[in-house]
Each structure stands twice: as structure tokens, then as C-alpha cells.
Structure 1
Amino acid sequence: MLGILPLICQSADEQEPANRSLSIDSKLRQSILKDLPAIQIFKTTPSSRFLVDLDVVSRGHPYIGRRAERPHTGGHVYFNPLDKKQTRDVSEYPPIYAVADGVITRIDYSFELRPMFERALGRDVANRRYGIGLTFAREQERGVTFHYSIEPFVRPKDPDFYDQFILVKLGQKVRKGEVIARMYLPENQELAKKSHIHFNLIREGGGGFISPSIFNTATVRAFHKQWNLFPNNPDAPIPPCMGYKLAPDENPFERTAIDRL
């Protein structure tokens, strides 16, 4: 495989690429539900496979629910920057794993985020992310999807740039622990430190994001050791958990509020 060339960002006067995403249709969604376990299974038999290897994680935080001082409806993992290198093979970037057996029901190949001022560049930038939806469980007649929002702090000039980091196809069945993507980290060290994966669960049919509290105690405690919460976080200290101060509809197992899950 060819190495990754240094990233070239798009200038303001060039044509803006469109968002590019694919989802399976509703009939296929319904057909896969019969083979998926009930989400409650993950309360008694949680997953031991975190979405990334923790030795490459620099910091993170759990899903912080709406009952918290500063809610954030997704867990985050941030990465240690890679050594500077002119070209790099895709296989050298951190692997991203399937957290459970399931089916790939959505792929975001390129999706624009809202503009933000980037101090490392000295200007506003609307970065682009990529992402994967892994439907792995059901809640009655609705699928439950693990949502990987993969967010390098860059805006590639090539709208297909992230395709090489996505290692699965729409509708593909995957096994827990399978590498489904690679985390692109830019050469700019300041941007690499901000690059992260936002992760949460989604119920089909709406209802907002829900806590990704599907991991076993050992995984939760290992992730907790890597958090390094920002000192101005009003909710700190947060005990080991994947979901903190959850509202009833953010609890994946039952519609009750809970402080830690």
C-alpha cells in the first residue's frame, strides 16, 4: 500500500466538497435485528474490547449526561501524536476496533463539522470527520448502534482522503475485536493532540444519544486511568464509569436516571 502523503488543506476559494455518507435501507435494518442480542445482555455480559488500544490514548472522558454541570453526550479518546514522518502507511496509524459482533449500518466518508477558531492555524476552520455506525444490539424492535465519530482536526483537500482509513463496507458483518478503521493523526503535533474519537450509542428512530455503558469493569477502570480530565472541568472528579449523571433516556438498559453506569 502506498504511504500517506503530507496532508494538504483546502483554501477558502476552492470548491467545497459535499458531505458523503451511506446508510443501509430500512428493510435491511429490520432483517438484521432478528440476529442481534437484546441490549440488556451487555449489562450482564459486557464487552471486554474497548474501541482503541489504551496504550495510544493520552486522555479521555466518559459520556457526561444532561444531569451533569457540563454535559457532553459522548465519550472521548485522545491520542498520543505519532513521530513526525513525511509518508506513513495506513497500517501504522492506531487501529479502531469493533466493540462487539454486529453489522456496519452507516459509514461517513467525509462530514463537515461546524467552524471553530484553530489557534495552531490562526484562523477559523470547518474540519471534516469520518465515522462508522456498528449496529450490535436491539431494543425491542429498534436497533442500537455504536457510533464512532472519528475527528482528526483537519480539513483534507481530497474529499476521498479518509476512505483509505475505513476498512469495512456498508452492510458488512464484523466480529468483536476486528479492526474496522484506522485513526488518522495529522503531522502537526498541536492538531494531533486534539484529534479524537467521539463515541456513544444511538437508538434507531431518534431519541438522541445514549451512554456507551457496555464495557466490563476492567475496561472501564483501565480507561479511567487514562482520562487526565481538564483542571477546569466542573464535574471533576468523576468516578470510573462510561456514563455519568445520566438522564432516563440516556440509560441504555432502563429508562431511569443514574449517577454512574
Structure 2
Amino acid sequence: MKNYLLVHIKTIIISASIIVSTSCASSTNSTITQNSSKPSQTSSSITNQPQVSQTPTHHKTQIVESLSLTASTTVTKNTKTELIPTDKIASTVQPINTTSVNPTDKPTVMQTIPDISFFASNKSQQFLVDFDHIIAGHPHVGQRSPRPHNDAQVYFSNSDNRWLEATDPSDYPPIYAVANGIVQLSDPPNYHYYNVIDHSEYDPPWWHVGYTIAIRVATYQNHNINFLYSMEPYITLHNKPMDFYKDFILVEDNQWVNEGDLIGYMYVPPFSERLSGPKSSHIAFGLLKDKGGTWDVYAPAIFSEQIVEQFANIYRNPSEGWSSTSYGYDWNRGRGLPTGMGWMITGSENPFGDHPLDVLMYDGIIDKTLSGAAQINSLSLGFSEQDIFYSKEGHGNFTSDIITTTTDWKAIAASIGGPTTFNIIFHENSGQIRKTQMFSTRPQQNYAMSISPKINPGQVSFEILDESNWGWAIALAPANSPADMPGTLIPEGYCPPGCPPSPK
């Protein structure tokens, strides 16, 4: 019995105990030898328990023979983190080969769930969504980053007429299988089409309801590796039935899917339904290990170079701009980051080895040569480029030359990660020097930015303290220059404040 409740940081991650069984033409005993670059630490026994899994009428697929599995030992990593802990993920199971059974009695075809190392050199050519349907994103931000987050995300526009005019699930953005594998959906009392993510401890309290799909795509050391999709429109379903999302899921539990298969649709609500504030409708995705905790995850580096480059372009340059009405604070996780599916990851987050990496895009070996330096473009902080009379970006501590201003002015400063301090040094006509802090970020803070109030003409210089070398940028413009700052154009949503009581 599986209990899948998908979660990512500060929500609920999938919690499960997996024993899978589906239909088979005949009972067979199997012995699996695991090929991996890392030595196996667990052992398992395998038995067959055939059951019937229905194939949905709306999706052509194969019925899959799977095996009922038990495991004698499990490996669970404990990582100290400030993040909210989550429940345990699925129990350890033996990696398996599966046999598809064609309902028309044609010869059966073997289907294999590979070791995770397969994806080091056999990249998926299918992203989880179409790039022209998303407006922003971020990669897996690892435990060596200023503020770690244990999944990647893609974001959708709540003002796109394609979704505002949609009447059926099929009118919304399609979601695809990123690799061959076996669908894993939760069993009651946990529902894959009704996943409550509760933030009642916040002030004001809020919560939302999403839906989830998992695909078993790989194995490692007797553990299954699941590619997880958490669809989070950021709504409470206050005017919709509990099973509203059911029609947005096109696959059944234990169903075999192939790379590129359509598995569901992403519901994108209008602003009137979406929660208030910078909360962007998105899909969180990643590779999660069975029987694990919050950080028993891998950076999802299974995609081709072309796909990763497209993804990086959109997380560095959102298609609606950083001042989009659909902006969410979480967009900042990708701002200025180098191209990759993982950034500043530890060895435990590396699917292709035990070594940490600043960037993960390829096979874990080539990636050792890649620079992880993030870069903020000082000309894109919010001022129009033609209005900027001074700009600078860099890494580490910096003191500028004296800048002479002849008109009232203001500044925008940004930092990739804390702690960082921006000081303005005023050089008075009397020869005196006065220092004022303009902006600072605390330790373990990710991308942040600030705009100064109007400052009088005169001579100034800037002192920037960036001891951790995460990166920073600053730009100056006349005080009357327009400034597009993220989060300032978001329409009012449904709640908070005033959200109904959480179902939990």
C-alpha cells in the first residue's frame, strides 16, 4: 500500500510505503543484479503477487507486470537543516525489471527500470512541460547554496488568455513523462488529486491544495528513484469539489509510461482564485529516493543539454519579466544562476557520484570543470538601461571610486546570497566622510534586492561587503526614473488574510 503525499521545502513531501503489484500473464521468480558505480548497502527478497491494473480509456498505454517487494534494510540520511522536517518517504524496494502485457495477446516486451547512472549518458529529450507554456523557473538549489531548496520548479502565468479562456482540462498546459517508467499514485486516505499543503502556523495563516504524480524512472542500491511532479496552482478549491483535479490526471497507478507520453494537465487559475501575494502557480519536480527524508533527493539532471539551456534561459530571463503580475518570491532562487539542473549540491544530491558539484548539467565528471559563479546583470535590476548613469556587478568585497552626482538619485542593490552589506559613503565638502548602510542580507538568505529612497546630489562611493563571494550588483539612476521592482504589480487574490479554516 502506497501513501504518497508530495512535498517540497516548507510544504509536505511525498510520504510513502511502497509495495507494488500489477497484472501479469504468468507468475515468475526473478533475481536482479544491480550494476552501479557505488557498492550496494541493502538486500531484498522478491515475490510475485499478480493483480489487475486498469488501463484508462483516454490514454493508450501498456499494462505492466511489477513485483511485490520487501526489503531487509534501508539507508536513510539525516541532514541538519533549518528547513521544516517532513514525513518519511517510501519504503525501500528492490529495483526490478518489468514485463509489459499487451491486451491483444501479442508477444510481451521487456521493460527495464535502469540504474540512476544510466542518465549520465542517456539524457531525456522530453521536458515535463512545453517551454512556451511557462514564464519562469529555478533549478535544484543544493545544500551548499545560501538558502537550499530540495526541488526545481516551473511557473505559469495567471494572466495568459490561453488559460483564462480554458473550459476543459485539455485546454490547460500538458504535462509529460520525462522518462520511461511506472506511475506511482498514492492510495487512500492520501489522495493524489487532493494534497493539502498547510501553513496555518504563518501569520496570517494560509494553505492550498495541489495534486501529485510520481514515475519510478530509476533505481539505486535497492532503492527506487521516483521523478515527482507536484502541481501547485495555489488555490484552496473553495468553490470547487474535492476531486476537482481528478480529471487533470490521465494516468493510473502502476501504469507503464514512455518518455513523452501525456500524463496530465496543469490547472492555472485566474487571480480571483489564486492566493494573494507573490505566490506563483507552479509545478515542483525532482528525483526522490525511497525511504528518505527532506534531503534524500537528487538534482534532476536527466535532461539533454538543449533542454537545460532552454530552462536556464527562462529562469534567468522570465518571459514576462521580473515585474510580472504572476511573480512569486520563489522565482529568485534561479536569478543569476549558471546553466544547470543543480547548483551548489553536496555529494548526496549528486545522482552520478559521491562528490559535491557547483553545477550539475552533464554526467557529474564534465561538471567538475564548470564554474558555479552566479552573475547578476546590473543593467537589469529594474531601471531602464538608458536611465542608468552608474552600474557595477561583482563578487567579494568592493569599494568604488568616488562618484559625483549632479541631480537627485536613487540606487538598486542586489545580492545572490547573504551575508552582504551595501554602504553608501558620503564625501562632504568639508572633507568629512559619513557612512550609511543602504541594504544588507542576513546569512542563509538567497537572492534579495532593495531600492533606496531619493538621495541628494553630491559625491559618494560605495562599500560592498560580500565575504562569501556569492555575488552582487548595483545601479544608480536619477530619482525620477521609473523602477520595475518584482512583486509590486500583483493583483489582489482570494486569501490570505481571511482564508477558511484548513482541512487539517
SS at match of 1:184: coil
Write out per-residue CA displacement over residues 36-66 of structure 1, whole angstroms, 9 at most, x where no aligned residue. 1111111111111000000011000100001
Determine whether 1:142 maps to 2:223.
yes
Correspondence for 2:304: 216
Give the TM-score normalised by structure 2: 0.44
SS at match of 2:274: helix
Residues 59-78 of structure 1: pairs in structure 2 closer than 5 A = 59-78=136-155
Correspondence for 1:42: 119
**RMSD over aligned Cα atoms:** 2.9
> Displacement of 1:206 after TM fit?
1.4
Q: Which moved more, 1:103-112 or 1:173-182?
A: 103-112
Any gaps of 5 or more consecutive residues in structure 1? 1-20
Residues 76-225 of structure 1: pairs in structure 2 closer than 5 A = 76-81=153-158, 82-83=160-161, 85=164, 88-107=167-186, 108-115=192-199, 124-157=205-238, 158-188=241-271, 191=274, 194-206=280-292, 208-225=296-313
Contact 2:226 2:287 in 1 (8 A): yes
> Displacement of 1:190 after TM fit?
8.4
Taking a change above 3 Å as real, the CA distance of residues 217 and 171 of structure 1, as seen in their structure-2 partners, is same
> Displacement of 1:252 after TM fit?
1.2
Q: Which moved more, 1:28-37 or 1:89-98?
A: 28-37
SS at match of 1:147: strand
CA distance in 2, matches of 1:213, 1:85: 33
How many residue pairs end up in the alignment? 239
Correspondence for 1:4: none
> Displacement of 1:74 after TM fit?
0.7
Write out per-residue CA displacement over residues 137-168 of structure 1, whole angstroms, 9 at most, x where no aligned residue. 11132111101011011011421111110110
Write out per-residue CA displacement over residues 120-153 of structure 1, whole angstroms, 9 at most, x where no aligned residue. xx96431011011100111132111101011011
CA distance in 2, matches of 1:234, 1:150: 18
> Displacement of 1:22 after TM fit?
8.6
Paired amino acid for 1:133: A
Determine whether 1:33 maps to 2:73.
no
Q: 1:256 aligns with which of 320, 335, 355?
A: 355
> Displacement of 1:234 after TM fit?
7.8
SS at match of 1:70: coil
Paired amino acid for 2:285: F
Taking a change above 3 Å as real, the CA distance of residues 113 and 31 of structure 1, as seen in their structure-2 partners, is same
User: Which structure carries more relative contact order (alpha carbon 8 Å, separation 6+)?
Assistant: 1
Taking a change above 3 Å as real, the CA distance of residues 163 and 32 of structure 1, as seen in their structure-2 partners, is farther
CA distance in 1, matches of 2:232, 2:171: 18
SS at match of 1:187: coil
Determine whether 1:242 maps to 2:341.
yes
> Displacement of 1:115 after TM fit?
2.1
Correspondence for 1:9: none
Taking a change above 3 Å as real, the CA distance of residues 125 and 197 of structure 1, as seen in their structure-2 partners, is same
Contact 1:101 1:175 in 2 (8 A): yes
> Displacement of 1:189 after TM fit?
6.6
Any gaps of 5 or more consecutive residues in structure 2? 1-14, 21-66, 70-92, 98-111, 187-191, 324-328, 361-504
Taking a change above 3 Å as real, the CA distance of residues 205 and 45 of structure 1, as seen in their structure-2 partners, is same
Taking a change above 3 Å as real, the CA distance of residues 131 and 235 of structure 1, as seen in their structure-2 partners, is closer
Question: Larger helix proportion, structure 1 or 2?
Answer: 1
Contact 1:24 1:170 in 2 (8 A): no
Percentage identity across paired residues of the two chains = 35
Correspondence for 2:128: 51
Paired amino acid for 1:90: P
Taking a change above 3 Å as real, the CA distance of residues 135 and 88 of structure 1, as seen in their structure-2 partners, is same
SS at match of 1:68: coil
Contact 1:75 1:198 in 2 (8 A): yes
CA distance in 2, matches of 1:22, 1:249: 21
Query: Highest Rg: 1 or 2?
Result: 2
CA distance in 2, matches of 1:77, 1:239: 17
CA distance in 2, matches of 1:51, 1:45: 17
Correspondence for 2:6: none
Q: Which moved more, 1:161-170 or 1:107-116?
A: 107-116
Paired amino acid for 2:168: D
